[in-house]
Structure 1
């Protein structure tokens, strides 16, 4: 029996420093048949050139670039819904890389379990220079995942492989979350309402946390997007459809504004919470940057200075070098 095709897509925006490593890991995948759809989303660096070079030398790689930057969700939806031909689909981040046997193990799992619509993996968080920051495990069983989705995202988004028919039935990623975040949480939550979803207990993905990009994203919308996903799920549970499925976008906007209100009233709180999150990940430069932003916003609040000094002590004052 012929093995099923998997389609993997990359939406790329200014990822040139990491792109070769990412594409090499995809080219080394032990699973076949496989196709890769690559789209440059209006990069100003050499990303598009690198993608075109790979498409020219390996027929599994295909390009379909954007004329201008339209955002990740719109790009991957276009590729997955209009270009991809696989029975299975996946989205790979352009600055990460995968273990060679990743897709082989995930498709073995999904082919053996037709009642499962989605499969993720354990993953390793790495720094800009490929140092291991931490290894992340997730719940494995579908029952545990379904029970915990109401509290936290149970999947690392780019580790997910899903059935194409399920993805299309769900309508793909929802454009409302473009540039807000947690689109993977929303997709996996909706998928788990229709089919079983699991993680396989293998570390098969390397997820890069770049301090250069993290320090630029102190936005309230990003900080509360997971709560918006949970609010939408509660609506589906109570009414069968959520506000986006009812095309009531104004209600989603109003709910997002409501969730952001505490940060509008106390904007330095947002920076301190980002600092705490970065500290948990041992991303000291990003944490210190967030703490400095809190001081800039409210220089009269003592807790902002305490936060910055605490970060310096934990980092052994190396941030000052």
Structure 2
């Protein structure tokens, strides 16, 4: 166990690209976490604006922050680089244009301890470019009690779109990533859907807590802001990746996956 030996070290990985308007608000929420034993990895993905200098300035303000400057390779590549450099016992990914509640890590780690879990999910809400609350209809947030799930139960819920597929919506044990050759698909989008079940499937207990701890910013110019043929192709590849992992890792879910495909095409 890293850090002071008693408190697990949590690595927070933040890919940074073209977000100079939002970066400070994001990082302020991280350095202000009530859970203090963090390493915060700001991965500058060759950002063309003031973000590289802003990242460097943050290292002078908080010794827990490390900056990694790299050539632009996209979100997956930046996440992979951050994951390779992370030394924590737990991993958390944050998008650099979003905001977090200051007790997010504390609540996740307390839940890990209380329920002997290695993957904790939480609710989220949406905000505007100016940080104002927005109304959303995410059904992923439609629960009011703590939910304890096996990996198979959680995978089924994710495939049925009852659990969101965003990597910023959960904290997980680092061993889930390190012990299973995990990496995000470089050069593609919809990377969260492509790999979410790989993380769920290698956990031993998933716990969902009914607290909105993350604020997702809806803005123009985001990665999935405009649908395109490329996004369609990446979405298809992501669903294929997900199915391949599930069927190979959990053969007993093969018929379940066939049924979900049938339901999807009927609905389509």
Using the alignment, how far apart are the partners of 2:241 and 2:32 within structure 1? 39
> 2:177 aligned with 1:170, yes or no?
no
Name the Cα RMSD after superposition. Answer: 2.6
Offset at residue 87 of structure 1 (A): 0.3
Aligned partner of 1:12 in structure 2 is 16
Q: 1:42-81 alignment to 2 at 5 Å?
A: 42-66=46-70, 68-81=71-84
Aligned partner of 1:117 in structure 2 is 118
CA contact (8 A) 1:148 1:154 kept: yes
Comparing both structures, which one devotes a greater share of its residues to strand? 2
Q: 1:273-288 alignment to 2 at 5 Å?
A: none
Aligned partner of 2:109 in structure 1 is 107
Using the alignment, how far apart are the partners of 2:6 and 2:161 within structure 1? 38
Using the alignment, how far apart are the partners of 2:14 and 2:188 within structure 1? 16
Offset at residue 229 of structure 1 (A): 3.3
Deviation readout 1:82-130 (Å, 9 max, x if unpaired): x21110011111001100101000011112333x332221001111011
Offset at residue 142 of structure 1 (A): 1.9
Offset at residue 25 of structure 1 (A): 0.7
Greater relative contact order, per chain length (Cα 8 Å cut-off, separation 6+): 2
Using the alignment, how far apart are the partners of 2:192 and 2:76 within structure 1? 10
Q: 1:167-246 alignment to 2 at 5 Å?
A: 167-176=177-186, 178-181=187-190, 183-195=191-203, 196-213=205-222, 217-223=226-232, 225-240=234-249
CA contact (8 A) 1:90 1:160 kept: yes
Q: Structure 1 residues 92, 233: closer, same or farther in 2, change over 3 A?
A: closer
CA contact (8 A) 1:138 1:199 kept: no
Offset at residue 218 of structure 1 (A): 2.4
Unaligned regions of 5+ residues in structure 2, if any?
A: 252-267
**How many residues are treated as equivalent by the alignment?**
238
TM-score (norm 2): 0.79
Offset at residue 180 of structure 1 (A): 1.9
